[in-house]
Amino acid sequence: MVDLYELRQLAAFAELGTLSRVAEEFHLSTPSVTRSMQHLEAYFGVPLFRRGKNRIELNDTGRLAVSHAQKLLGFLSIAAVVHAVCQAAQTADNGLAQSTFIFHYQKAHGNPPFHFFLFLLPFHYSKRR
């Protein structure tokens, strides 16, 4: 199973450029980040990096994985905000929060697919009595 923490490390690698900088950012050792990247490669079944003597860089598949990871992480962070808003509101109609969520998703990624709306169902909370 893919760990979100590992996906965050992968996205950070795309931004920071080296495993040692990722390790520093996440307060980990470089070998620990290396193991995370190897785990992602094993999980996906393809190499994500081009490795040289003293250099490692994303290959085409790695860049695609980063793109998807960034979208997923963004989606989940928006979902966490909506979830918090819905819990705080404790109303039967949290359509405003869901509309805000959809707006931010559309702004970042375009129109959501149908299964996107199924994801919102758990965020519908009824009023507590």
Model confidence pLDDT, tens digit, residues 52-93:
888 899 999 999 999 988 888 888 877 777 776 666 665 545
26 vs 128 pLDDT, higher one:
26
Tokens of 101: 């969520």
CA 81/CA 85 separation, integer angstroms? 6
3 vs 16 pLDDT, higher one:
16
pLDDT (0 to 100) of residue 4? 87
With 50 as the cut, is the pLDDT of residue 110 above it?
A: yes
Confidence label for 127 from pLDDT (cuts 50, 70 and 90): very low
- Average pLDDT value over all residues in the chain: 79
pLDDT (0 to 100) of residue 39? 94
pLDDT (0 to 100) of residue 71? 87
Which of 36-40, 112-116, 122-126 reaches the highest mean pLDDT? 36-40
Tokens of 15: 């931004």
Closest CA to 10 of 46, 47, 58: 58
Question: Per the confidence metrics, is the pTM higher than 0.85?
Answer: no
Q: What is the DSSP string of 33-88?
A: HHHHHHHHHHHHTS--EEE-SS-EEE-HHHHHHHHHHHHHHHHHHHHHHHHHHHHH
Confidence label for 129 from pLDDT (cuts 50, 70 and 90): very low
